[in-house]
């Protein structure tokens, strides 16, 4: 079975540009999480969805960030306009049901974003 798929794997952009990150969760999983990882702050939850509905977006840093899940097999995280401090690795994770079995979330390979 394919795991969580993220694209692109690397993104380099200039400050002020719009960035869109994409995620395809594992088939049959109905909860999806977006995380951001930096050396300074570690792995932070940005937003999560259950059955395509945003449940908790308290981790979204500011209005420049938005996330959508139009269907069960696709989600996007958009940053507009991007800033150098948004440079990080962005991970998507999915789980079956409302809560992972024994705390397990399945992570994608991440998108490494660099904003110049």
Partner 1 sequence: QKEVEQDPGPLSVPEGAIVSLNCTYSNSAFQYFMWYRQYSRKGPELLMYTYSSGNKEDGRFTAQVDKSSKYISLFIRDSQPSDSATYLCAMSGRGAQKLVFGQGTRLTINP
Candidate ranges 15-23, 62-70, 73-81, 95-103; the one touching partner 1 (CB under 8 A): 95-103
How much of the chain is helix, strand and coil, in % rounded to 5? 5, 55, 40
Q: Would you count residue 107 as binding partner 1 (CB under 8 A)?
A: yes
Total residues belonging to the chain: 116
Pair type for strands 88-95 and 111-115: antiparallel
Phi-psi region of 30 (alpha: psi -120 to 50; beta: other; left: phi over 0): alpha
Of 17, 43, 80, 85, the residue at the interface with partner 1 (CB under 8 A) is 43
Of 25, 32, 69, 108, the residue at the interface with partner 1 (CB under 8 A) is 108
Q: Would you count residue 109 as binding partner 1 (CB under 8 A)?
A: yes
Alpha-carbon distances of 8 from 11, 23, 46, 56, 100, rounded to whole Å: 7, 9, 19, 25, 26
Shortest spacing between CB 79 and partner 1, in angstroms: 20
Q: Would you count residue 91 as binding partner 1 (CB under 8 A)?
A: yes
Q: Which residues bind partner 1 (CB under 8 A)?
A: 4, 31, 39, 41-45, 48, 56, 91, 93, 95, 98-100, 102-105, 107-110
């Amino acid at each position: 079975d394919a795991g969580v798929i993220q694209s692109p794997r690397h993104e380099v952009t200039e400050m002020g540009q719009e960035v869109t990150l994409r995620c395809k969760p594992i088939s049959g999983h109905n909860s999806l999480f977006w995380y951001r990882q930096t050396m300074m702050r570690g792995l932070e939850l940005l937003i999560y969805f259950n059955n395509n509905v945003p449940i908790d977006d308290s981790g979204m840093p500011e209005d420049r960030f938005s996330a959508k899940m139009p269907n069960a097999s696709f989600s996007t995280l958009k940053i507009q306009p991007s800033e150098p401090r948004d440079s990080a690795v962005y991970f998507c994770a999915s789980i079956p049901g409302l809560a992972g079995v024994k705390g397990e979330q399945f992570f994608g390979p991440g998108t490494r974003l660099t904003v110049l």
